Amino acid sequence: MRYIGKKLAAMIITLLCISFLVYLAFDLIPGDAALAALGTDATPESLAALREQLGLNRPFLERYLEWLVHFLCGDFGTSYKYHMPVADMIVSKLPITVIMAVISFFMMVVISLPVGIYTAKHSGRRIDRFVMALNQVVMSVPHFFMGILITYLFGMLLKFFTPGGFVSYETDFWGFLSYIIFPCFAIALPKIAMSVKLLRSSCIEESKKDYVRTAYSKGNNTNKVLYRHVLRNAIIPVITLWGMTLADMLVGSIVIEQVFNIPGIGRILLTSISYRDYPVVEAVIVLIAFVVIVTNFVVDVIYQLVDPRISV
Amino acid sequence: MAKRRQGLGKVLLASMLLTLTVALGGCSGDKQDGDSEKVSDTAAASHITIGIPQDLDSLVPSLSQGAGTQEILYNIYEGLYKPDSEGNLVPAVASDYTMSEDGLVYTFTLRDGIKFHNGNPVTAADVKYSIDTCAGLNGGEPVISAFSNIVGVEAPDENTIVITLKESSSSFMAILSTVEAAIVPADAADLQTNPIGTGPYKFVSRSLQENVVLERFDGYWGEPAHIKDVTLKVLADSDSIVMNLEGGAVDLVARISAAQAAELGDDFEVLEGTMNLVQAVYLNNAVAPFDNEKVRQALCYAVNRQEILDFVSEGKGTLVGSSMFPAFGKYYIEELNDLYTTDIEKAKALLVEAGYPDGFSFTMKVPSNYQQHVDTAQVVAEQLKQIGVTADIELIEWETWLSDVYQGRDFEATLVGVDASTLTAGAMLSRFRSDAHNNFINYNNQEYDAAYAEALAAESVMDDDKATEAYKKCETILAGTAANVYIQDMCELVAVRKGYTGYTFYPLYIQDFSKLDIQ
């Protein structure tokens, strides 16, 4: 209980720092929302009037604190550019990004687990060496480039999907799924490679330990030893990796969204940054930070469940 | 045992691959079927998907800011008058107007039987409300700054609107015809979520950063649109344009680059127009060495504009010699293009005269989101090396350009395109008056100020010939003093899928969907 309380306090402080840093960053970079809105038509009078209207002419700290109070009360503010509530903007786009992250995560677990175990069991053989070589290649390709490759292969050559032919989950859910499966694959592939490598080496290392010899001497066969004894220990570092990956996938999907022309949270974030749309950027970044911190917290808890030796 | 082990692994691997194949292949099969159906459907129901580079910033005409937004809203909303593809102002919500002798009172007659998209007739009260909003007469600041010139809007009867101005203005009709001054219903609840206008297309739905869906308005007063459904798809990543076109996700994209056009296959036709802007190396006339006319002229002589066109856009584009582009017709002076023909020796001589025999170096700020400007800047920098001048290109974000270069005037040189918001000479030339708020190059020339004042004076007494003459004088002064290194009016390339016809170029930022048709 005390542990959770401590974690919670750390989380809140982290989020506060992040939101402050974002606000500060926007204050330091050139350009502001009024200028971005008026563009080359701006006159000194119209600029002053719009800054007054948006409250941009007040001191930095005052603006930040006001935003913070409103944010804590659940009022995320109104987008400068789209003149609509920030909460509405995020709510309609969040499912896209979350579904993408969940599917990629699922792909990673379902594929890396069997492949990792298989290569560990057959380490040193030709198939293992082949998979490991392939693994190394996939791991070193950044996911946005993987996205381009996948678009070219599955979209342009094999015509499995129409590049750019994204449909929203609201209009056609199955059409949506059949499109995002490809970007998800692009996000998942490098992570699959990573966890295969980790699981394989972790299995091999564990199987060299004394308790494995004991287990064999008790009359267990290879599979029993592997699944009952080795895997239980070998999986711990992999679970840590998966936990960190989940947050990484959320962030990764922001990049992949651009490659596959998907209007998710990432698109909202990028366009809002270039438009100096503070309320939207703040809300999205705090949200992402929140998700990252919470997943890390959940991973810590799972960690303890899997390995009772670890107490924090 | 070893055999069994291997067997289990193989099953695992096989089942895993199978799942993946089914997952990837299964859905793709559906997709393909769906696609072929879609194609045949669209032909019958007449539908087009058009790629746009950014989402609309607002659906309320008076709040819209970006040119990319207003060119789309042109299809939904109309003002009392509107520009046509020749650049003339033609009646829209009004059917006619008269102007008083002194140019202060404009009387408009509303078009008979004209309706909003919701079926309600357009009344004089709606017009009064719309103009009042733009002029800030409903309270608040004027939305269109030029409309602060309006002192009153009256509706003496159901079909008549009388607008009174503080002082006469030749550009009033042009500003009245912009999308910002569109006529909207006085009782509309929320135009932001439910836009209602009088244009050939009505709003259906919108998904942020994804698409905007329009449908033909069957109660339109004029020639109805040909294509029933128009979907505007946001293509935020310019690198994906070709892929989206080739893959069939979009049918039409305007303003593609020459490189993108070259990548397109046989399914597409590439139409060529002009962008209607003046691309130039804009020089800060207030900082050394560009405060020296001879230095500026030296740069003009050193740059080979035809070579730039050949390098950057495969020779496409129109050379310009001053701050005016050909679509302006009567104001455009073609002869100014030949004022500075490339002459390296002369350029070097001018530099020596100016006191820079060994050349100098300067920083050229270029907004990084405009690839064509970036490409052009690189060619210009190469060319300037021939006279010993080094141009360091600094790529900056568009918002930084706005705040540092355009507002802050903190730059030596910048390469951008300057366009006109209305088809009035003032839209291009007023900024170079020494006291203009948007004179970002700090141009300071008393002769120019006098010529511009002369043009305004001629306009106020409605002497168009004399005004045109004075504006031309302004252009000649700009060219003669080498205010900037003028380059070109860039070519505008539009990719259209074969089968669609009727794309029309406008001399202003306008995309007219009502003229599009299917063969």
Q: Interface pTM (ipTM) of the complex? A: 0.77
The answer to whether the Cα torsion of B426, B432, B435, B437 is positive or negative is positive
State the DSSP H helix or E strand holding residue B366, giving kind and residue range, or none if neither: strand B361-367
Across chain A, what does the average pLDDT equal?
85
Q: Are B488 and B317 in contact (CB under 8 A)?
A: yes
Average pLDDT over residues A167-190: 89
Residue where the block lists tokens 């049918």: B251
**Chain B residue whose CA is closest to A170:** B207
Residue of A nearest to B369 (CA): A274
Residue B289, preceding peptide bond in cis (omega within 30° of 0): yes
- CB distance B186 to B126 below 8 Å: yes
Beta carbons within 10 angstroms of residue B262's beta carbon: 12
pLDDT of residue B240: 80
Cα A48 from Cα A62, distance rounded (Å): 18
- Which residue of chain B has the CA closest to A93? B208
Q: How many angstroms from the chain centroid is the CA of residue B235?
A: 17
Query: A27-50, pLDDT tens digit by residue?
Result: 888 777 788 777 777 777 778 877
Nearest to B237 among A39, A44, A258 (CB): A258
- Give the nearest partner residue to A178 out of B13, B28, B193, using CB atoms: B28
Question: Between residues A150 and A6, which one has the greater pLDDT?
Answer: A150
For residue A131, what is the DSSP state? H
pLDDT on residue B8: 47
The CA distance from A274 to the nearest CA of chain B, in Å, is: 7
**Chain B partners of A144 at a C-beta cutoff of 8 Å?**
none
How far, in Å, CA of B55 to CA of B59, rounded? 10
Would you call B415 helix, strand, or coil by DSSP?
strand
Amino acid at A204: I
Report pLDDT for B29: 38
- Give the amino acid at A210: D
Nearest to B209 among A43, A154, A263 (CB): A263
DSSP characters for B436-490? -TT-TT----HHHHHHHHHHHHHHHTT-HHHHHHHHHHHHHHHHHTT-EEEEEE-
Residue whose tokens read 């076109």: B245
With residue B25 as reference, give the H or E element that holds it: helix B2-45
Q: How many CB contacts within 8 angstroms connect chain A with chain B? A: 171
Within chain B, which residues score under 50 in pLDDT?
A: 1-8, 11-13, 16, 18-44
Query: What is the DSSP-derived secondary structure letter of residue B225?
Result: P
Using a CB-CB cut-off of 8 Å, the residues of chain B touching A92 are 207-208
Which residue of chain B comes nearest to A106, CA vs CA? B20
**Identity of the residue in A30, A174, A179 whose CB atom sits nearest the CB atom of B404:** A30
DSSP secondary structure letters along A43-108: -HHHHHHHHHHHTTTS-HHHHHHHHHHHHHTT---B-TTT-SBHHHHHHHHHHHHHHHHHHHHHHH
**Residues from chain A contacting residue B243 (CB–CB below 8 Å):** 151, 155-156, 163-164
Q: Is A7 helix (H, G, I), strand (E, B) or coil?
A: helix
CB B48 within 8 A of CB B252: yes
Q: Which two tokens stand for residue A108?
A: 């990673």
Q: Is B152 helix (H, G, I), strand (E, B) or coil?
A: strand
Distance CA B519, CA B458 (A): 49
DSSP state of B86: T
Interchain pair B12, A49: CB under 8 A: no
Q: Residue A134: CB partners within 8 Å, gap ≥ 6?
A: none
Distances (CA, A) of A126 to A123, A129, A131, A195, B154: 9, 5, 9, 20, 89
Beta-carbon separation of B209 and A185 below 8 A: no
Q: How confident is the model at residue A307, as a pLDDT?
A: 67
Q: Is the dihedral of CA A102, A106, A109, A111 positive or negative?
A: negative
Residues of chain B found within 8 Å of residue A121, distances taken between Cβ atoms:
5, 9
Q: Answer whether B435 touches A (CB < 8 Å).
A: no
**Do B249 and A164 make contact, defined as CB atoms within 8 angstroms?**
yes
- Helix (H) or strand (E) holding A15, with range, is helix A2-28
- DSSP sequence for A90-122: HHHHHHHHHHHHHHHHHHHHHHHHHHHHHHHHT
Tell me the nearest-neighbour CA distance from A234 into chain B, angstroms. 18
Mean pLDDT of A208-221: 82
The pLDDT, as a whole number, for residue A308 is 65
Which of A250, A248, A277, A274 has the alpha carbon at shortest distance from A264? A250
| All residues at 6 or more sequence positions from B95 whose CB lies less than 8 Å from its CB, including other chains | B109, B110, B111, B112
Which pLDDT score, from 0 to 100, does residue B24 have?
47
pTM: 0.80
Closest CA to A105 of A178, A25, A189, A221: A189
CA–CA distance, B1 with A310 (Å, rounded to integer)? 36
pLDDT value, residue A234:
86
Neighbours of A153 (CB within 10 A): 12
Give the residue from chain B lying closest to A122, CA to CA.
B6
Report pLDDT digits (tens) over A118-149.
898 888 888 888 988 998 998 888 888 888 88
Q: What percent of chain A has pLDDT over 90?
A: 14
Residues of A in contact with B19 (CB under 8 A): 110
At A213 the three-state DSSP class reads: helix
